[in-house]
């Protein structure tokens, strides 16, 4: 992979999204954080500029770019230091919409995908439940076949955009075991309701909700793909979500490092900038190494994803596991270098620290990532041993 994967087209996008963030997002960060939600109009503004679907096909209203285009947008949002809004935008674009784009019917794409990429409709994804998070197979929300419609009962937990979405793609049980399906539910459906989740540590500007389904009648035409295949659809869909988390962690850590470097050269103690002290220089050096390592593994994961799609699961899982933990350490060190002012909301580093804590939890905890990778590592050992045995016999 080239050390610089960005083309001239990507750079033009970078200029455009950076100017947009400076005008339409950064001036409102404090207001949205205080109000604990972003304005729904920002989705429309992003859609009008084409920023929501830069990596979606042009025939659906997307930009037709590769995933590096999405990386450019992620970096601009990270530099705006409003991870709550960023999460709402990602939960709208990159969690439910790829399912509709790849598996949806022409009618579903016309009714849901195209308006969502324009920002005319807001979307969400509902998988997590009060008793089932990373364990997707443990969900209990059911969709019972009633002939011309499904009747849905159950609940979902910690759903981003749950209160503001126009439709939500949800995972439901349609049979025993792993017999699950993905179904689009319009939020004006009778029997659907939400409760806002408050008192979050971070991500204050994102909307988070608990969803309730009480005898919700949903048309059969809202089924995505084949009935009973939802578990496998969502397992594949997780890869894009985890890749987004890895890239986000990388860029927030990079932003925090730059903030710390600048502050350390401005703040003086004992007659000189604190950045002139060896202990500070060494801390900054270690932070820089970690950021570069996060970038390397994340960018490799993007390259593998572009070439192999969801088959790049192993490197994506590694990137999610590594950056989810290490980026938090960089941000924590950046706060430490800011001293007392870092502990206030005035410099923004405290918000970055609070928001980043979700990186090792959302989209699958670090522990789940390690469990997935542990199985991969052991499978490789067993495969090597088997080949060795066959070689000896030959």
Write the pLDDT tens digit of every residue in 268-283.
999 999 999 999 999 9
Band of the pLDDT at 352, cuts 50, 70, 90?
Answer: very high
Q: 208-229, pLDDT tens digit by residue?
A: 999 999 999 999 999 999 999 9
Copy the structure tokens of residue 77.
């949002």
Structural domains for the chain? 8-118 (1.10.540.10), 123-231 (2.40.110.10), 238-387 (1.20.140.10)
The CA distance from 88 to 76, in Å, is 15
The CA distance from 239 to 217, in Å, is 31
DSSP 229: B
**Measured in whole angstroms, how far is the alpha carbon of residue 217 from the centre of its chain?**
30
Copy the structure tokens of residue 340.
């007392």
Beta bridge partners of 213: 154, 192
Write down the residue that tokens 């339409």 correspond to: 24
Contact 49, 23 (CB under 8 A): no
Q: 119-166, pLDDT tens digit by residue?
A: 999 999 999 999 887 788 899 999 999 999 999 999 999 999 999 999
The CA distance from 60 to 56, in Å, is 7
304 noted as active-site residue = no
The CA distance from 231 to 176, in Å, is 12
- In the set 227, 241, 304, 313, the catalytic residue is 241
Q: What is the mean pLDDT of the chain?
A: 94
The CA distance from 323 to 245, in Å, is 8
pTM of this structure: 0.92
Copy the structure tokens of residue 143.
């969709």
* Inter-CA distances, 140 with 144, 173, 177, 190, 226, Å: 12, 6, 11, 20, 19
The CA distance from 385 to 238, in Å, is 31
């Amino acid at each position: 992979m080239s050390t610089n994967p960005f083309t001239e087209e990507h750079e033009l996008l970078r200029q455009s999204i950076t100017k947009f963030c400076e005008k339409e997002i950064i001036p409102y960060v404090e207001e949205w954080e205080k109000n604990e939600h972003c304005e729904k109009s920002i989705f429309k503004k992003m859609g009008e500029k084409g920023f929501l679907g830069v990596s979606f096909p042009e025939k659906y209203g997307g930009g037709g770019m590769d995933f590096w285009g999405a990386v450019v947008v992620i970096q601009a949002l990270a530099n705006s230091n409003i991870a709550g809004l960023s999460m709402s935008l990602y939960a709208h674009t990159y969690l439910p919409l790829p399912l509709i784009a790849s598996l949806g019917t022409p009618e579903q794409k016309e009714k849901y995908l195209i308006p969502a990429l324009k920002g005319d409709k807001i979307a969400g994804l509902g998988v997590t439940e009060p008793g089932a998070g990373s364990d997707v197979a443990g969900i209990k929300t059911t969709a019972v076949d009633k002939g011309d419609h499904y009747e849905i009962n159950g609940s979902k937990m910690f759903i981003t955009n749950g209160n503001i979405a126009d439709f939500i793609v949800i995972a439901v049980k349609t049979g025993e075991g792993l017999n699950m399906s993905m179904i689009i539910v319009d939020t004006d459906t009778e029997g659907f309701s939400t409760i806002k989740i408050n008192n979050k540590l971070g991500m204050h500007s994102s909307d988070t909700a608990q969803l309730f389904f009480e005898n919700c009648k949903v048309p059969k035409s809202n089924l995505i793909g084949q009935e009973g295949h939802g578990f496998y659809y969502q397992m594949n869909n997780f890869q894009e979500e985890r890749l987004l988390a890895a890239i986000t962690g990388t860029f927030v850590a990079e932003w925090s490092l730059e903030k710390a470097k600048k502050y350390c050269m401005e703040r003086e103690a004992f007659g000189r900038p604190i950045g002139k002290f060896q202990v500070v220089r060494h801390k900054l050096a270690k932070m820089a190494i970690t950021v570069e390592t996060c970038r390397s593994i994340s960018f490799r994961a993007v390259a593998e994803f572009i070439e192999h799609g969801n088959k790049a699961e192993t490197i994506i899982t590694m990137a999610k596991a590594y950056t989810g933990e290490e980026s938090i350490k960089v941000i924590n060190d950046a706060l430490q270098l800011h001293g007392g002012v870092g502990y206030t909301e005035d410099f923004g580093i405290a918000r970055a620290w609070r928001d980043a804590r979700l990186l090792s939890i959302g989209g699958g905890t670090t522990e789940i990532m390690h469990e997935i990778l542990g199985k991969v590592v052991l499978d490789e050992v067993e495969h090597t041993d088997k080949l060795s045995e066959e070689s000896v016999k030959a």
